[in-house]
Amino acid sequence: MKVTLRLLLIILLLHSCKGEDSKATVVEEIIPSPEEVLRDYVIKPKNDDGLCREDISRAKEDLKKYGQIYVTTYCFGCESLPYEEEVIEYATYKGFKVISYGFSCVTINGQTQGCYKAFIDLKMEEINGKYFRQKIQIEAEKLMINKLKNSNRSLSIYDLSDNDKPKLVHETNLTKQGYIPTIKTMLPLKFDRDKYPFVDISFIIEKDGKISNLKSENWVDGYKENNKYKKELESMAKKEILNYYNEWIPGKYKNTIARVENNFRVSFQ
């Protein structure tokens, strides 16, 4: 009984707190990106953040030397644009000194990484506007698309969305994963269930759906006894791909048909 009365009292109190015109208010919090936070931070980094301060000093020296700088970045696991080479080409054409800046994704003991690029970008935004990097990237992408149309420029299959990737006319679940069926040779190869020879063959899918430029990229013998058959097996793998996997629906990038680099892993028994 006491519990019931207590519940009724709580309900009455909650009801009395609601006005007839009261409405739920949704507050949207705009969270700044890590890049924006870092650009704010480099204006006044912590005194004990030696790594960041060294990066800023180097950035200032480079700005005195070059004036206009576009920083490209690389790190393990970082995504890259399919038109990275055109970014460098276009930025150079626009008078920027392109500097490659490597960093890891780990900050240790209060030492901040990425300050070199953040400081450079901050100064370049003051001169060229906040979206100067985006503008360069837009023009670089246009340049790449023009090359796809009019030259031998190719893209990696990993640069394309699933819908835009080239597809075998007779595709299977195995080929979707980058494999073809194991080739059964007449050679006295040594292998078992978990240890066998294989080779990765790269190739280009041309705009007409045919393949070209077959290359052996990675050979694993399984057992050292198989090494003496390496050239023969690589030749078998290339012939197998040319004979049975040479009809593709070509890939495209933003509705532009493109030459696309792909690969198959071929195993042997």
pLDDT at 93 over 90: yes
**Each residue of 17-27: pLDDT tens digit?**
444 444 444 44
Question: Which whole number is the average pLDDT over 177-185?
Answer: 96
Q: SS3 for 33?
A: coil
Q: Can you give the pLDDT at residue 33?
A: 58
Q: Spell out a b/e string for 122-132, using b for 16 or more CB atoms within 10 Å of the CB, else e.
A: bbbeeebeeeb
**Each residue of 5-16: pLDDT tens digit?**
444 444 443 444
Q: What is the pTM of this model?
A: 0.80
Which carries the bigger pLDDT value, residue 229 or residue 76?
A: 229
Contacts of range 96-99, beta carbons closer than 8 Å, 24 or more positions apart:
96/68, 96/69, 96/70, 96/136, 97/62, 97/66, 97/67, 97/68, 97/69, 97/70, 98/69, 98/70, 98/71, 98/72, 99/62, 99/69, 99/70, 99/71, 99/72
What average pLDDT is seen over the chain?
88
